[in-house]
């Protein structure tokens, strides 16, 4: 096998050139490189725990708390006394954690990208001071409660209500698929106010009228609990309403950022599947020779690399647009739908290339294969993202028949 490529677990950053084929991230340096290295170090620390948690459908909270101790639960939000984290750094962290495990990446995305970003973007200065620092350390775990049983992609049809009674708001309704909704401390609940506008409220999960049941039977993202929440006459003071929220447009920045984050997660998941398949094909001997000496294997590896590279190009361009402050909802939608489609193709190819052992968790690809289905769906389904793009290029909305 002397003429076969040596495959070793690469310790350096950036990505192995067989993955980052165009050197898209070869110039990462300085503080951004330090953050990426921190994420890689954390991934290696938690790696032995990941498959066990996924198989048992258990939340590895101590592992997530370790991520917080290492300063990774930030999503680029400025925290007093903590080092700065750039947009580039937060995207590279998301990439690296998704190469490891989509459940772990989602846990940090829920806490920082959704719950903390809601408060950072829409909250008062007092709310930011009260919540952001302890949320970054996981002293306070947060949930983002927007999706409802009957309103996912059409969340604009929000039915949860918030009625003003003096200095309090009374909230009634249901939420579903809410990460941290049953294992957190607070939930940022979105509800329709008396005047028809959309409000966001910080609700304590242990207060009267808040009931949450962890959803069981999931075949994907098994390492993070998601909840079905019922809110019955839940009372919160005016000081718990996020003053910056009055419409769905006010939440658009948060949601757009998380959709971009899903594209980066798809990049990480696809990259790991490709790397694992390349390693396996280099080592696996069939009919007296390694798999990589077969033409069909080389073609499939090249196909996988094309998808990984394409997703990387999407992410690199999105990063440039984000850093310039010009990225649009439509551009985020295009990247999200393409990247998750590509990740599904790569994961399916990798699982097949492993043959029978491809269904073993110890090889990671079957976990990625299942989790890719969730990436494809959450933060806006394939169809909804395509319709967002379709409207932008035709000028015609086709969201309803």
| Tens of pLDDT, residues 324-355 | 999 999 999 999 999 999 999 999 999 999 99
Determine the structural domain holding residue 301 and report its residue range.
249-394
Sign (positive or negative) of CA dihedral 246, 252, 255, 257: negative
Same domain, 380 and 334: yes
In 10 A of CB 329, how many CB atoms?
Answer: 18
b/e sequence 146-158, b meaning 16+ C-beta within 10 Å: bbbeebbeebeeb
CATH code (residue 313) = 1.20.140.10
Q: Which two tokens stand for residue 279?
A: 């390693």
Q: In Å, how far are 36, 61, 65, 186, 205 from 68, measured between CA atoms?
A: 15, 11, 5, 17, 21
So what's the pLDDT on residue 157? 78
Same domain, 256 and 341: yes
Looking at 189, 222, 246, which one is the last position of a domain? 246
Q: In Å, how far are 145, 171, 187, 217, 254 from 230, measured between CA atoms?
A: 11, 10, 12, 20, 24
> The pTM is what?
0.93
For residue 4, is it within any domain? no
Q: Where does the pLDDT of residue 10 fall: very low under 50, low under 70, confident under 90, or very high at 90 and above?
A: very low
Q: How many CA atoms lie within 13 A of 367 on its CB side?
A: 26
Same domain, 295 and 353: yes
So what's the pLDDT on residue 249? 84
Q: Are 26 and 199 in contact (CB under 8 A)?
A: no
Same domain, 62 and 100: yes
Q: In Å, how far are 68, 95, 145, 358, 394 from 128, measured between CA atoms?
A: 18, 27, 18, 46, 40
Nearest 5 degrees, angle CA 270-CA 94-CA 280? Answer: 30
Same domain, 257 and 346: yes
CATH code (residue 157) = 2.40.110.10
Residue 86 pLDDT more than 90?
Answer: yes
Same domain, 253 and 390: yes
For residue 18, is it within any domain? no
Least confident of 6-15, 249-258, 268-277: 6-15
Query: What contacts 98, CB < 8 A, 6 or more positions away?
Result: 105, 264, 265, 266, 267, 268, 269, 272
Residue 354 main-chain phi, psi, to 5 deg:
-75, -15
- Could you please report the per-residue DSSP string of 239-282? GGB-TT-SSHHHHHHHHHHHHHHHHHHHHHHHHHHHHHHHHHHH
| Count of structural domains within the chain | 3
Residue 380 pLDDT more than 70?
Answer: yes
So what's the pLDDT on residue 232? 98
For residue 9, is it within any domain? no
Residue 148 pLDDT more than 60?
Answer: yes
Give kind and range of the element (H or E) at residue 232.
strand 226-237
CATH code (residue 55) = 1.10.540.10
Share of the chain above pLDDT 90, in %: 85
Same domain, 242 and 253: no
Same domain, 287 and 242: no
Looking at 218, 246, 274, which one is the last position of a domain? 246
Q: In Å, how far are 91, 96, 373 from 75, measured between CA atoms?
A: 8, 13, 24
Same domain, 225 and 330: no
Same domain, 265 and 389: yes
3-state SS class at 1: coil
- Could you please report the per-residue DSSP string of 142-195? EEEE--BTTBSTTGGG---EEEEETTEEEEEEEEEEEETTTTSSEEEEEEEETT
Q: Where does the pLDDT of residue 4 fall: very low under 50, low under 70, confident under 90, or very high at 90 and above?
A: very low
Report d(CA 182, CA 180) in Å as an integer: 6
For residue 108, is it within any domain? yes
What value does the mean pLDDT of the chain take?
92
Same domain, 385 and 327: yes
Share of the chain above pLDDT 70, in %: 95
Same domain, 289 and 387: yes
Looking at 92, 114, 137, which one is the last position of a domain? 137
pLDDT, tens digit (0-9, with 9 covering 90-100), for 222-260:
999 999 999 999 999 999 999 999 888 888 888 889 999
């Amino acid at each position: 096998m002397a003429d076969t490529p040596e495959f070793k677990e690469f310790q350096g950053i950036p990505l192995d050139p067989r993955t980052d084929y165009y050197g898209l991230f070869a110039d990462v340096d300085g503080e951004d490189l330090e953050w990426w290295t921190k994420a890689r170090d954390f991934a290696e620390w938690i790696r032995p725990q990941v498959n066990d948690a996924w198989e048992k459908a258990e939340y590895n909270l101590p592992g997530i708390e370790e991520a917080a101790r290492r300063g990774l639960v930030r999503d680029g939000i400025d925290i007093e006394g903590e080092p700065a984290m750039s947009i580039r750094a937060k995207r590279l962290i998301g990439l690296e954690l998704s190469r490891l495990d989509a459940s772990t990446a989602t846990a940090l995305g829920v806490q920082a990208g959704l719950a903390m970003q809601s408060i950072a973007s829409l909250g008062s200065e007092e709310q930011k001071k009260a919540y952001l620092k302890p949320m970054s350390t996981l002293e306070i775990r947060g949930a983002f409660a927007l999706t409802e049983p009957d309103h996912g992609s059409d969340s604009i049809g929000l039915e949860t209500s918030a009625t003003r009674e003096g200095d309090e708001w009374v909230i009634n309704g249901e939420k579903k698929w809410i990460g941290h909704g049953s294992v957190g401390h607070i939930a940022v609940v979105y509800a329709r106010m008396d005047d028809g506008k959309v409000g966001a409220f910080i609700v304590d999960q242990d207060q009267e009228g808040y009931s949450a049941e962890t959803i069981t039977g999931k075949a994907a993202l098994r390492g993070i609990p998601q909840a079905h929440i019922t809110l019955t006459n839940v009372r919160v003071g005016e000081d718990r309403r996020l003053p910056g929220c009055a419409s769905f447009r006010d939440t658009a920045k948060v949601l757009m950022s998380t959709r971009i984050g899903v594209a980066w997660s798809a990049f990480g998941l696809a990259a790991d599947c490709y790397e694992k398949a390349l390693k396996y094909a280099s080592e696996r001997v069939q009919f007296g020779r390694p798999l990589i000496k077969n033409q069909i294997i080389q073609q499939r590896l090249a196909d996988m690399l094309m998808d990984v590279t394409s997703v990387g190009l999407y992410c690199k361009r999105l990063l440039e647009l984000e850093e310039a402050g010009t990225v649009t909802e439509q551009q985020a939608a295009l990247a999200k739908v393409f990247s998750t489609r590509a990740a599904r193709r790569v994961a399916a190819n990798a699982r097949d290339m492993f043959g029978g052992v491809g269904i073993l968790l110890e090889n990671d690809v079957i976990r990625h294969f299942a989790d890719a289905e969730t990436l494809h769906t959450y933060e806006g389904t394939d169809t909804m993202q395509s319709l967002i793009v379709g409207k932008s290029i035709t000028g015609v909305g086709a969201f309803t028949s």
